[in-house]
Amino acid sequence: MASFSTSAQCSTSDSACRISPRQIKQVRPKVPLLKILQAAGAQGEIFTVTEVMHYLGQYITMKQLYDPREQHMVYCGGDLLGELLGCQSFSVKDPSPLYAMLRRNLVALTIATTGD
Residue 3 is assigned to a structural domain of this protein: no
Residue 72 is assigned to a structural domain of this protein: yes
Q: What is the pLDDT of residue 15?
A: 45
In CATH, what number is assigned to the domain containing residue 40? 1.10.245.10
Residue 73 is assigned to a structural domain of this protein: yes
Structure confidence by residue, pLDDT tens digits, 84-109: 999 999 999 999 999 999 999 999 99
As a whole number of angstroms, the distance between CA 116 and CA 71 comes to 44
Which residues touch 69 (CB under 8 Å, ≥6 apart)?
none
Q: How many domains is the chain built from?
A: 1
Q: What is the pLDDT of residue 75?
A: 97
Structure confidence by residue, pLDDT tens digits, 54-77: 999 999 999 999 999 999 999 999
Q: Which structural domain range is residue 91 located in?
A: 26-108
Residue 4 is assigned to a structural domain of this protein: no
Residue 16 is assigned to a structural domain of this protein: no
As a whole number of angstroms, the distance between CA 55 and CA 77 comes to 19
Structure confidence by residue, pLDDT tens digits, 2-60: 445 433 334 444 444 444 444 558 999 999 999 999 999 999 999 999 999 999 999 99
Residue 81 is assigned to a structural domain of this protein: yes
As a whole number of angstroms, the distance between CA 101 and CA 81 comes to 9
Residue 84 is assigned to a structural domain of this protein: yes
Residue 101 is assigned to a structural domain of this protein: yes
Q: What is the pLDDT of residue 110?
A: 75
Q: Whole-prediction pTM value? A: 0.75
Q: Which amino acid is at 84?
A: L
